[in-house]
Amino acid sequence: MRNTSEASRSAYGRLTSAIASLSAPSGSSNPGRSDSWNSDSAVERLLVNALIVGGIAGIFMLDVFRPLGFVVWMLYLLPLWLSVRLAQRRPSSVGLVGLTSVILVVAGFWLEPSGKSPWTSSANRATGIIVIGLNTVLLQRLMRQRETILRNEEELRDFVEGASVGLHWVGLDGTILWANQAALNLLGYAAEEYIEHSIREFHADLDIADDLVQRLGKGETLYNYEARLRCKSGVIRHVSIAANASWRGKRFSHSRCFIRDISAQKEAEVLHARLAAIVTHSGDAIVSFAPDGVIDTWNKAAERLLWWTEMESIGRPESMFVPDDRLPESRELIRTVLLGQPVREFDTQRKRKNGSLVDVSITMSPVLVENRLLSICEIIHDNTKRKTNERALREANKELEAFSYSVSHDLRAPLRSINGFAKILAEDFGPSLPPEAKRHLHVIQKGAGRMGELIDDLLEFSRLSRSALDRQAVDVERVIREVWGELRRQDQVQSAELVVGDLPKCLADRKLIKQVWVNLLSNALKYSRPRREPRIEIGWRDDEQQPGNVVYWIRDNGVGFDQQYVSKLFGVFQRLHRTEDFEGTGVGLALVHRIVQRHGGRVWAEGRLEEGATFYFTLERIYELDGANQHLGLVGRGQ
């Protein structure tokens, strides 16, 4: 940063010196500094005036000692005056004027008063020719220098006007006296909207504007003075100002200000500060290292996780926190990143300062600056809790399997005994039993049967909750047709009408999604059974909450339910109707909720008593593509 500031000051200083005498009020220059152009102009004026005075003095002297008469004296003075005047307007005429002057001097022989010595006249004429010749030569050289200076001045003026750095002159009261096109373009103003206006009109911070004018008025030179300027569009630009004062003698003339837009730099600084804050306060360890593996960033979370401090880590190879047996894996991951492919949530291990290992999940990505790889960033997430939870979950699953085995075998045996003895009693002693005893025996058999159903449903719920998902593209419409056919063969369909629209495919486990439709269709059939003409409709719509998902729905015209109890629908063994009215254990909809939830979807229901019910669930949608990789439109969308 220091080198950049020094380079900026040096560049601004050179440019300031180069254009010190341009365009602004004349005669401005810094005290104690020689200005080559002003010096050349002064020398030019001095020599021209010296030639005129010398020429006139020489002619007067000749006229005093050797009088030639008024007419001849005018013939000497007129060429000198013409030479100076014409040469200032057209330097190429100097030679012509000099030749004319010589001819006029020679013509003076015939205008000379009579009685003068021929030798005196010849000496006078020779002296005049020599003086005029010297005048001519000197004036030609001066005019050539002047032409060069004017040409260089014009070129430099064009350079300043077309410079990419904004320049403007500011008076003692803060009025802008002149500005180049870059300054106008920077803020978006026209010249008449900017020049002759106070800088206070364009500074977003008036105290900064006042301080700037005050310091320049004292003759201070400013470098990298930061300010905020307001553009015509209202946008605020951050600028860096380099300025110095221009003096006329010992009096302040104006200040020269060079404006550089640093808005992008400020935005980068803000972004850098935000990223630095994120890195510093992140709960995950963040480490970055150069392509050769040398660590250059190590945040506080890395210190807490791996126990090395930042001072101990910076400059060391990244292999210091990689276990020896994981080094080939780490090198392969780095090669993957160097090929432009980020690594996301890769489970591995990292080594702490004391040599112990910690389970982590890492994400690696390249850090690019102008498409050039600067470093590799590795975000390390501590997986200790997750691994502990996974181990606990595995233990819980083992216990659940043991419980399921116990339920399947240990609880079924007593149920089989109850059912068996109840059946024996009914067969052997049924005719002799009193009616009340027969009723009790029937209740025992029915309760044992229901207990068996509950055990079966509970085991099914446990099995589906633990089974792995085999995600694939599922043709939902075909699955529904299969389920409907199976229900028809089981004589559950009766006279119900099924209306199915063209349904999009989804990404799911086909076996589990089939179970969802078995439960939903069975549920719809069961609760629409009291209707004379049961009707079931199935359709879909786009998921507005989760774009990319599809909402499937199934609607029946059954008995419905009270919406205030909807939260109980998807609970295990929860029922909104009496068992005497509708059979079931209250596990079917709980299974639907569990399966959809495992797929990352949502389930909900709407209903009104005696007006039917509608069940909704969401799944990830699969889009079919044509040969040109365009999505095919789906027809028959449900309402």
Same domain, 188 and 223: yes
Same domain, 444 and 586: no
- Lowest average pLDDT, out of 109-123, 241-255, 587-601, 606-620, goes to 109-123
Residue 127 has pLDDT above 70, yes or no: no
The per-residue pLDDT for 96 is: 58
The per-residue pLDDT for 29 is: 36
395 falls within a domain = yes
Same domain, 303 and 208: no
Same domain, 610 and 474: yes
The per-residue pLDDT for 551 is: 94
Same domain, 593 and 488: yes
pLDDT tens for 497-518 read 889 988 999 999 888 888 889 8
Domain span including residue 434: 388-464
Selected residue with higher pLDDT from 404 and 372? 372
HEC sequence for 403-444: HHHHHHHHHHHHHHHHHHHHHHHHHHHCCCCCHHHHHHHHHH
**How many domains does the chain divide into?**
5
pLDDT, average across residues 136-151: 70
144 dihedral zone (left: phi>0; alpha: psi -120 to 50; beta)? alpha
Same domain, 416 and 343: no
The percent of residues in the chain predicted with pLDDT above 90, rounded, is 23
* Residue 620: φ, ψ to 5°: -70, 130
633 falls within a domain = no
DSSP state of 384: H
288 falls within a domain = yes
- Lowest average pLDDT, out of 303-312, 403-412, 534-543, 591-600, goes to 403-412
Same domain, 580 and 475: yes
From the list 510, 566, 519, 542, the residue with the least C-alpha distance to 634 is: 542
Residue 623 has pLDDT above 60, yes or no: yes
pTM: 0.45
Q: Which amino acid is at 340?
A: G
Neighbour tally for 206: CB within 10 Å = 11
Residue 124: pLDDT band by 50, 70, 90 thresholds?
A: low
Q: Tell which of 127, 160, 193 closes a domain.
A: 160
| CATH number for position 378 | 3.30.450.20
The per-residue pLDDT for 11 is: 40
The per-residue pLDDT for 281 is: 84
639 falls within a domain = no
Residue 365 has pLDDT above 80, yes or no: yes
pLDDT tens for 457-495 read 666 666 666 666 788 999 999 999 998 888 877 665 667
- C-alpha 590/C-alpha 462 separation (Å) is 11
According to DSSP H, which parts of 528-607 are helical? 588-598
The per-residue pLDDT for 356 is: 92
The per-residue pLDDT for 604 is: 92
Same domain, 249 and 197: yes
Selected residue with higher pLDDT from 250 and 586? 250
- C-alpha 593/C-alpha 516 separation (Å) is 9
- Lowest average pLDDT, out of 177-181, 293-297, 346-350, 585-589, goes to 585-589
- C-alpha 613/C-alpha 577 separation (Å) is 14
How far is residue 22 CA from its own chain's centroid? Answer: 42
Distant-in-sequence, close-in-space partners of 41: CB < 8 Å, separation ≥ 6: 149
Q: Tell me if 592 sits within 8 A of 513, measured CB to CB.
A: no
Distant-in-sequence, close-in-space partners of 232: CB < 8 Å, separation ≥ 6: 187, 188, 189, 193
- Lowest average pLDDT, out of 105-114, 190-199, 252-261, 422-431, goes to 105-114
Neighbour tally for 21: CB within 10 Å = 19
277 falls within a domain = no
Q: Which amino acid is at 317?
A: P
The 10 Å CB-count burial string (b at 16+, else e) for 80-104 is bebbbebbeeebebbeebbebbbeb
The per-residue pLDDT for 20 is: 40
The percent of residues in the chain predicted with pLDDT above 70, rounded, is 67
Q: Tell which of 415, 431, 464 closes a domain.
A: 464
- C-alpha 230/C-alpha 200 separation (Å) is 10
pLDDT, average across residues 8-35: 39
Same domain, 148 and 43: yes
From the list 314, 311, 323, 317, the residue with the least C-alpha distance to 292 is: 317
pLDDT, average across residues 409-432: 76
- For the chain, what is the mean pLDDT? 75
Q: Tell me if 160 sits within 8 A of 167, measured CB to CB.
A: yes
Residue 213: pLDDT band by 50, 70, 90 thresholds?
A: confident
635 falls within a domain = no
Same domain, 16 and 97: no
Same domain, 490 and 595: yes
Same domain, 142 and 67: yes
From the list 468, 469, 471, 470, the residue with the least C-alpha distance to 397 is: 468
274 falls within a domain = no
Q: Tell which of 101, 129, 160 closes a domain.
A: 160
627 falls within a domain = no
